[in-house]
């Protein structure tokens, strides 16, 4: 799998924060039942690496990756846990070297034209646009596409089911990242049926966006 394959897996890349690794497998299965076969487990909690191990081992039809990768050690640990891809909120030279060394597909984070150009110089043409809404939203990303038409993005940060189609309608967007598919209250209540329903809605967003182009 490469970064283009990753952007094509689903119109929405679920950004999942788990406090309990026991919830990882049923969450992954609910997303899959809803037609979403990819998930980004963020390294914001102590449960994240164990959650990645469990999904990788028990739900092979879901492509599980690690998000909020901010240190070289996290990049290596995520790879060793079975992550199939990495996502960073921003980049440093040390972090870029480390994620490249893992051999995994990576969506490195950028929020400005200069950051995107610098990443392109390093060979990254599939990027995360973060924080999307705070950085100007779909209008800003459309403007970036003018001088940098060869770059494609997964915008993440503040995007909702209502705003996602505006991003997905852009030529330089492959998918969007969203946390609304796995809301905290649903995870706390083990309401996996709700997560499945939200995933079904998300899986239909690409077709909706195509009609808006």
pLDDT tens, N- to C-terminus, the chain (213 residues): 999 999 999 999 999 999 999 999 999 999 999 999 999 999 999 999 999 999 999 999 999 999 999 999 999 999 999 999 999 999 999 999 999 999 999 999 999 999 999 999 999 999 999 999 999 999 999 999 999 999 999 999 999 999 999 999 999 999 999 999 999 999 999 999 999 999 999 999 977 665 555
Domain of residue 199, CATH code: 3.20.20.70
Q: How far from the centroid of its chain's Cα atoms is residue 72's Cα?
A: 19
Q: Is residue 176 part of a domain?
A: yes
Q: Which of 56, 68, 109, 63 is nearest to 85 (CA)?
A: 63
Contact 130, 156 (CB under 8 A): yes
Catalytic positions are 40, 128
pLDDT number for residue 51 = 98
- Residue pair 105/123 in contact (Cβ under 8 Å)? The answer is no
Confidence (pLDDT) at 206: 78
Residue 83's closest CA among 110, 103, 57, 56? 56
Residue whose structure tokens are 């990495």? 86
Model pTM? 0.96
Asked whether 163 and 138 are in contact (CB, 8 A), the reply is yes
The structural domain count of the chain equals 1
Residue 50 resides in a domain: yes
Q: Which domain does 45 fall in, by range?
A: 3-88+96-107+160-212
**Rounded to whole angstroms, how far apart are CA atoms 157 and 129?**
8
Q: Looking at the domain assignment, is residue 62 inside a domain?
A: yes
Strand (E) or helix (H) holding 69: none
Are 37 and 202 a contacting pair, CB within 8 Å? no
């Amino acid at each position: 799998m490469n970064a283009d394959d990753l952007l094509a897996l689903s119109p929405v890349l679920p950004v999942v924060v788990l406090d309990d690794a026991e919830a990882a497998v049923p969450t992954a299965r609910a997303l899959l039942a809803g037609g979403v076969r990819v998930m980004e487990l963020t390294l914001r909690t102590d449960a994240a690496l164990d959650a990645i191990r469990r999904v990788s081992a028990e739900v092979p039809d879901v492509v599980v990756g690690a998000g909020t990768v901010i240190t070289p050690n996290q990049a290596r640990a995520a790879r060793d846990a079975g992550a199939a891809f990495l996502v960073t909120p921003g980049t440093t030279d040390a972090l870029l070297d480390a994620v490249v060394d893992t051999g995994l597909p990576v969506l490195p984070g950028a929020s400005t034209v200069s950051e995107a150009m610098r990443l392109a110089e390093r060979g990254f043409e599939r990027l995360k646009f973060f924080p999307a809404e705070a950085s100007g939203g779909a209008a800003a990303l459309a403007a970036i596409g003018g001088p940098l038409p060869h770059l494609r993005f997964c915008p993440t940060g503040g995007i909702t089911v209502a705003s996602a189609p505006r991003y997905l309608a852009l030529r330089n967007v492959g998918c969007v990242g969203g946390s609304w598919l796995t809301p905290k209250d649903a995870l706390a209540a083990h309401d996996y049926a709700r997560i499945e329903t939200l995933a079904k809605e998300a899986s239909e967003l690409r077709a909706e966006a195509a009609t808006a182009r």
